[in-house]
Structure 1
Amino acid sequence: MAIGIPKKDKFLDHNQVELVYAHKKSYQEIINSDLVEYKSIYSHASPKRLYFGDNLDVLRLLATEPEICGSINLIYIDPPFATESHFLSRKQSKAYDDTLTGAVFVEFLRERLIWLHQLLSNHGSIYLHLDEKMIFHIKLIMDEVFGAENYRNMIVRKKCNPKNYTRRTYGKTADFILFYTKSDTYIWNQPKVPLSENSKKEYQYIEPETGRKFMKVPLHAPGVRHGETGKPWRGKMPPPGKHWQYPPKTLDEMDARGEIFWSKNGNPRRKVYLNEHSGVGVQDIWLEFRDAYNQNVKITGYPTEKILIY
């Protein structure tokens, strides 16, 4: 079995906080558990897999396949939320039971996360979706399994419109997505959104030669440097306590291309063009991906369906 077992019984280092609870299994107990065979409806020659059964057993099985174990680049999981509820479909047939709570729920999820860690590639990422009830417990488990240094974000998602709560508490309109990676060499394709109309107004200058809109930004950055970026350029030193963003040779090339704006006082600024702006990076608060039940979209009828993002 292609499983990497750490030298220590636990993932934890001396500076990490551990969540302790009853009947918590050791790493070796989980890794050495017995296999249950399942058959996929697709052939092994196909990259597609569909299994019917306990996902823990299937994860164990996948970890025995060298072409899969350690090669998965992206995992998203939406486990039960420990709601102590029974969920029905639109047609009132049973969908699933969400009855595990407390330590039992934590260990249920921890076992699966350990196997998912095995399946994930060194360049891979995992996103785990929960609400406020168990997110903080599982944050500690994710730190244990994936390493606190591989925590990237806790995304806050607005799941529904505000409601008229009758309870003596604030309305609950959010849930959370934990984003971890296997290492610091993970694949990252930054999602972006277009600039807002207000942001576009910052591009208030027009280049006469091309008609392109641009804004002016400093050519220097904080910090003293003693290399090329700390030397004079065109007879000018960077401001005190700062350095040029680029070496003088690069600045000369930028100026030759017309990418530097010179003020009447002879101060250089870099031109940033509106038509070259690729958009603003998505932040860790998501407002536009609400549950399908709260939007006028076609859904399957599954009671806790998340809206498809593509």
Structure 2
Amino acid sequence: MTNILYYGDNLHVLREHVRDESVDLIYLDPPFNSNANYNILFKSPEGQDSDAQIEAFEDTWHWNDTAESAFDEVMKSGNNDAFTLLRAMREFLGDNDMMAYLAMMAVRLIELHRVLKPTGSLYLHCDPTASHYLKLLLDGVFGADRFENEIVWNRTNAKSHAHTRFPSSHDVLLHYRQSDNATWNPQYAPHSESYIKSHYSNIEEGTGRRYTLGDLLNPNTNRPNLTYEFLGMTKVWRWTKERMQKAYEDGLVVQSAPGKVPRYKRYLDEMKGTPFTDVWTDIPPLNSQAQERLGYPTQKPLALLERIIAASSNEGDVVLDPFCGCGTAVHAAQKLGRQWLGIDVTHLAIGLIEKRMSEAFPDISFHVEGRPQDLQSAMDLAARDKHQFELWALSVVEAVPWKGGRKGADGGIDGIIWFKPDGKKTEKAIVEVKGGGTGVKDIGRLAQVMQREGAPLGVFITAQAPTRAMERDAAAVGVWDNELTGRKHPRLQILTLAELFQNKRPDIPWVDASAAKKAKREDTGKQGKLL
């Protein structure tokens, strides 16, 4: 089964849900080991509080029991080459963060090798911090003879390190094949204008087609079957006599003067272009104004994934991204007619991908595994992992997690829903999530936070049904008037988990200015819900 998003640790998901030799192409963009916090780092809208951000989870690449266990699993895997390399790295590096990163990557690469078809390929996206170590691990897992390319992607402009060293501006993509029969579709760049002018300067009369003249002589002079007389001269020709005569009759063979060696026309519009090399400078990074940008700092351009998928898979093939983040790989796979599997360890990422795919492909059908699908599974998550439950609930209402969380006091804010009621000014709704017992004090605290933050709206998500006193106090906070639409929205809204599973969402004016103005003009006094 394909077109599935899995929430969970990719090691577990690979072992439990992905069959041997069932995947045609793997792209993975794991967190880089660069002493930074990884995965999701959401920021508030442009012009808002730059500190309004959240780390979905902190850097987990530390040497601990989990890393030790990963090291032992590589030892027991039967892949002696991979373990030999990993053990040598441990002797060199010691038990530090980099070694933890490599141990946990090694055990996952072994699983990825298992699920890849003999005709499959893998692309590992990394930065120069650990690319040399990862290449050795890949040599151990796949075999050094399966290495194809170290692709350099110029991902950004030079950073400000010029006073100490050459600034870093590239990422690395390590490309490996499972076998010599791996799928390969060459990719080409359009010829430059200067190249066209210098190499295709001839323009055909009548058609206006640009062309250049190619050599008709055969470089191998020992070809008796291709040695014959043509246009008054005997040569070893590139083509058979029958093909040469046909091309001449079709006007494709040109002789500039009697006695001159004829040449053939190569039309510009029949050329595929210039083959891409292993240095990619033509795909710019996503800037703050990019239309496809989702506010995910490690988001990769769609064009980057489209090139990889087009080159190393065919329509209908299965593409796997085990660190799918904001879903660029699965988006590109769907766009190019591939099947796909995506895995991520945060509910925020899965929720973001669900929204992204549904908006980009309204008619798409896909399945989500591992996320709460009913009230009972949501309650189970709340009991097991309060933090992930909170992140899941926030993702359902499309809220951005606040910066407090497990690191410290969050100021009574679990998340923020940013919205623009008039299409211009950004407003916020404070979101608070409770998986346990609740009471009127919670409503009072949320009302105080709304006042402190200057937020016109607040959303209280609760696993338990609210009491009448809670509903009374929420109603007492009043309503917020949307001047553009004339609608009134309850300022403090209570949503239960049961209502979320019934597809009820916060009453928030997520409309742009033009839509709101149109709605107001068409208002008949019975204003509908604007989404």
TM-score bracket relative to the smaller structure: 0.7 to 0.9
Secondary structure, counterpart of 1:253 in structure 2: helix
Aligned counterpart, 2:24 = 73
Tell me if the contact between 2:118 and 2:182 (Cα under 8 Å) persists in the aligned partners. yes
Aligned counterpart, 1:89 = 42
Q: Report the Cα distance in structure 1 between the residues aligned to 2:224 and 2:22, rounded to whole angstroms.
A: 41
Shift of 1:223: 4.7
Q: Does 1:55 align with 2:10?
A: yes
Q: Report the Cα distance in structure 2 between the residues aligned to 1:148 and 1:245, rounded to whole angstroms.
A: 39
Q: Report the Cα distance in structure 2 between the residues aligned to 1:112 and 1:196, rounded to whole angstroms.
A: 42
Q: Does 1:299 align with 2:293?
A: yes
Secondary structure, counterpart of 1:89 in structure 2: strand
Shift of 1:169: 0.5
User: What TM-score, normalized by structure 2, do the two folds share?
Assistant: 0.44
Q: Does 1:282 align with 2:279?
A: no
Shift of 1:212: 2.3
Report the AA paired with residue 245 of structure 2: D
Tell me if the contact between 1:155 and 1:179 (Cα under 8 Å) persists in the aligned partners. yes
What do the CA deviations read for 1:19-65 (whole angstroms, capped 9, x no partner)? xxxxxxxxxxxxxxxxxxxxxxxxx5xx22121111011111234x3
Distance 1:126 1:245, change over 3 A: farther
Aligned counterpart, 1:165 = 161
Q: Report the Cα distance in structure 1 between the residues aligned to 2:184 and 2:302, rounded to whole angstroms.
A: 20
What do the CA deviations read for 1:194-240 (whole angstroms, capped 9, x no partner)? 221112212122333544221012224645554645x34534334xx
Question: Unaligned stretches of 5+ in structure 2?
Answer: 44-51, 62-96, 307-531
User: What TM-score, normalized by structure 1, do the two folds share?
Assistant: 0.73
Report the AA paired with residue 263 of structure 1: S
Secondary structure, counterpart of 2:235 in structure 1: coil
1:215 pairs, out of 196, 212, 217, with 212
Report the AA paired with residue 8 of structure 2: G
Q: Aligned residue pairs: how many?
A: 255
Q: Report the Cα distance in structure 2 between the residues aligned to 1:275 and 1:125, rounded to whole angstroms.
A: 31
More helix by share: 2
Report the AA paired with residue 94 of structure 1: E
> Identity of paired residues, percent?
33
Q: Report the Cα distance in structure 2 between the residues aligned to 1:215 and 1:139, rounded to whole angstroms.
A: 43
Tell me if the contact between 1:82 and 1:99 (Cα under 8 Å) persists in the aligned partners. no
Aligned counterpart, 1:263 = 256
**Bigger Rg, structure 1 or 2:** 2
* Higher mean C-alpha deviation, range 254-263 or range 130-139: 254-263
Q: Report the Cα distance in structure 2 between the residues aligned to 1:268 and 1:97, rounded to whole angstroms.
A: 69
Tell me if the contact between 2:200 and 2:268 (Cα under 8 Å) persists in the aligned partners. yes
Shift of 1:192: 2.3
Secondary structure, counterpart of 2:4 in structure 1: coil
Q: Report the Cα distance in structure 2 between the residues aligned to 1:249 and 1:180, rounded to whole angstroms.
A: 44
Secondary structure, counterpart of 1:143 in structure 2: helix
Report the AA paired with residue 158 of structure 2: P
Q: Report the Cα distance in structure 2 between the residues aligned to 1:272 and 1:108, rounded to whole angstroms.
A: 53
Question: Unaligned stretches of 5+ in structure 1?
Answer: 1-43, 239-243
What do the CA deviations read for 1:98-140 (whole angstroms, capped 9, x no partner)? 3533333222212211211221122222111001111111112
1:121 pairs, out of 101, 114, 117, with 117
